[in-house]
């Protein structure tokens, strides 16, 4: 099955999780490069990240898969409301510089009885034909990343 750019556009995914950590820490895990690198990406991936968490600030996440392949992602922050909300766009390009896929993601961090209720909502803004397998893995990739975030523990005070 091939998903055309038009059909993929608008594909949405929403995931909600409760984390035992306070929302200030969970929020920080999304904007601190050292913390973000520890959990971003599916299981078995290692990420190198750079973050400038301010409206218009850049976001770079280079994920190295278990087979050694590197998946570069670039993005920009649209909204940063600490410790409540992040909105950003991420995407990747081919070697010729053509956009292959772009997502707009909104993450909210709610106080929940001393814990954090995290909601991630992502919408595919653009997607090149032939990326149906990648789109099929969108939910799995996010689920595994959020599982890895759950295993990230706050340093002892």
Written as one string, the DSSP assignment of the chain is: ----HHHHTT-EEEEEEEESS-HHHHHHHHH-HHHHHHH-SSTT-EEEEEE--STT-EEEEEEE-TTS-EEEEEEEEEEEETTTEEEEEEEEE-TTS-EEEEEEEEEEEEEETTEEEEEEEEEEEEE-TT-HHHHHTHHHHHHHHHHHHHT-PPPP-
Does residue 105 fall inside a structural domain? yes
The answer to pTM > 0.85 is yes
pLDDT score recorded for residue 156? 52
Does residue 111 fall inside a structural domain? yes
Does residue 28 fall inside a structural domain? yes
Q: Report the CATH number at residue 115.
A: 3.30.530.20
pLDDT score recorded for residue 20? 93
% of the chain residues with pLDDT over 90: 64
Does residue 117 fall inside a structural domain? yes
pLDDT one-digit tens code per residue, 51-85: 999 999 999 999 999 999 888 899 999 999 999 99
Does residue 157 fall inside a structural domain? no
Does residue 55 fall inside a structural domain? no
Q: Which residues of the chain carry a pLDDT beneath 50? A: 1-8, 157
pLDDT score recorded for residue 86? 98
pLDDT score recorded for residue 79? 98
pLDDT score recorded for residue 137? 76
């Amino acid at each position: 099955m091939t998903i055309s750019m038009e059909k993929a556009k608008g594909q949405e995914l929403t995931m909600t999780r409760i984390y035992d950590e306070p929302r200030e820490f969970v929020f920080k895990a999304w904007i601190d490069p050292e913390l973000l690198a520890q959990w971003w990406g599916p299981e078995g991936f290692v990420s190198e990240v750079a973050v400038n968490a301010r409206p218009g600030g850049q976001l770079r996440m280079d994920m190295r898969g278990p087979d050694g392949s590197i998946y570069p992602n670039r993005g920009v922050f649209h909204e940063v409301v600490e410790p409540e909300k992040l909105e950003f766009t991420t995407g990747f390009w081919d070697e010729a510089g053509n956009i292959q896929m772009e997502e707009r993601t909104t993450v909210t961090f709610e106080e929940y009885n001393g814990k954090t209720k995290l909601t991630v909502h992502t919408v595919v803004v653009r997607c090149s034909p032939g990326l149906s397998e990648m789109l099929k893995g969108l939910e799995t990739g996010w689920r595994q990343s959020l599982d890895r975030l759950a295993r990230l523990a706050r340093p002892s005070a």
